[in-house]
Amino acid sequence: MRVEHGLTAAVTGAASGIGKALAAAFAGRGVSLLLMDVEGGPLRLVERAVSEAGVGVLSVETDVRVAASVSAAAGAGLSRFGRIDIICNNAGVVGPWLPMWEQRMADWKWLHEVNLMGVVNGISAFVPAMVERNSGHVVNTASINALSPLSIGGNAPYAASKAAVLAVSETLRTDLDRHAPAVGVTVLCPGPVTSRIRESERTRPPDLSAPGLDSRVLPEVDFGYPRISAESVAAQTLAAIENGWLFLLPNAGSGAGVQARIGEVLAHSG
């Protein structure tokens, strides 16, 4: 699929980070946009910024944890643009950096509702129409942690949620091969990216508050490869869509950790 004028892309988590960069990259190609985020104010700022590229833009304040909220946004986008060609299920958060046994149930629930169910809700809301016409592309943002969890630990809810996104994406590819093979799927597995994910607590809902929340969120960690810009991730994502890549590991050198993990698994297999 060529990413060009005449298409419409939907992006969750569009108010900052990778989502904001994706919006700008799509607008630069003349692609109309449905932008979704739980932060309404910053979302509207992104809407105004990308609209300067001369493309149609609709922003809808959306809580990806809630299926009805995502479905309503999808309906608004379809009413405005007629169809959605690309859905980027990108919204994500990270919780406290703590040993697994100290993670609170509120942390597990919040991260899985956003990181995993946000992807599931996006698929449910946007993919049926793609299947019906056998065209479109789905981008699900996972993490390099889905393929090679950090050896220092401390992020079990996040790693588990992103591993689930990887599994969902691969299963979606298999299902589409049987029912709508022309619909593309890309699972984006970034390493460290310049974004506001370290400030995820700003979006934690009151019903999942965690009294006495530990402040150790995403400490500075040597991943063994460089942090990259959200703009670099967005540019590579558009290339992945155009080339039909199932997997995208945008950080140079991140594949080495994946290879090492595969080697370790095979070394200990029967």
List, for residues 115-147, the tens digit of each pLDDT value.
999 999 999 999 999 999 999 999 999 999 898
In a domain, 62, yes or no: yes
Phi, psi of 11 (to 5 degrees): -135, 125
Residues 111 and 163 sit within 8 Å (Cβ to Cβ): no
pLDDT of residue 37: 98
Q: How far is CA 126 from CA 18, 53, 120, 139, 206, in A?
A: 20, 25, 10, 12, 28
Predicted local distance difference test score (pLDDT) of residue 197: 77
Q: 144 lies in which domain range?
A: 8-267
pLDDT at position 26 is 98
Residue 50 is assigned to a structural domain of this protein: yes
For 171-203, b/e burial (b = at least 16 CB within 10 A) is ebbeebeeebeebbbbbbbbbbbebebeebbeb
Q: Quick one: DSSP state of residue 115?
A: I
pLDDT at residue number 65:
97
Give residue 233's pLDDT.
Answer: 97
Residue in the structure block whose two tokens are 């949620």: 161
pLDDT score, position 264: 84
DSSP 8-state class, residue 209: -
pLDDT computed for residue 97 by the predictor: 84
Q: Is residue 60 part of a domain?
A: yes
Output the domain CATH number for residue 38.
3.40.50.720
Choosing from 58, 158, 159, 249, the catalytic residue is 158
User: Looking at residue 208, what is its pLDDT?
Assistant: 82
Is 110 part of a structural domain of the chain? Answer: yes
DSSP category for residue 100 = G
What local confidence, expressed as pLDDT, does residue 212 receive?
A: 59
Structurally, how many domains does the chain consist of? 1
Model pLDDT, residue 257: 82
Nearest C-alpha neighbor of 69 from the set 121, 31, 111: 121
**How far is Cα 64 from Cα 73, in angstroms, rounded to an integer?**
10
Which residue matches tokens 């690309």?
A: 86
Task: Decide if 225 is catalytic.
Answer: no
Question: What span, in angstroms and rounded, lies between the C-alpha atoms of 110 and 205?
Answer: 8
Residue 150 located in a structural domain: yes
Give the C-alpha separation, 41 to 39, whole Å: 6
Query: Considering the domain boundaries, does residue 1 fall inside one?
Result: no
Instruction: Tell me whether residue 2 is in a domain.
Output: no
Measured between alpha carbons, how far is 9 from 23 in angstroms, rounded to an integer? Answer: 8
Block means of pLDDT (10 residues each) for the chain, 270 residues, are 97 97 98 97 97 96 98 98 98 90 92 97 98 98 87 82 97 98 97 80 80 57 80 98 97 85 84
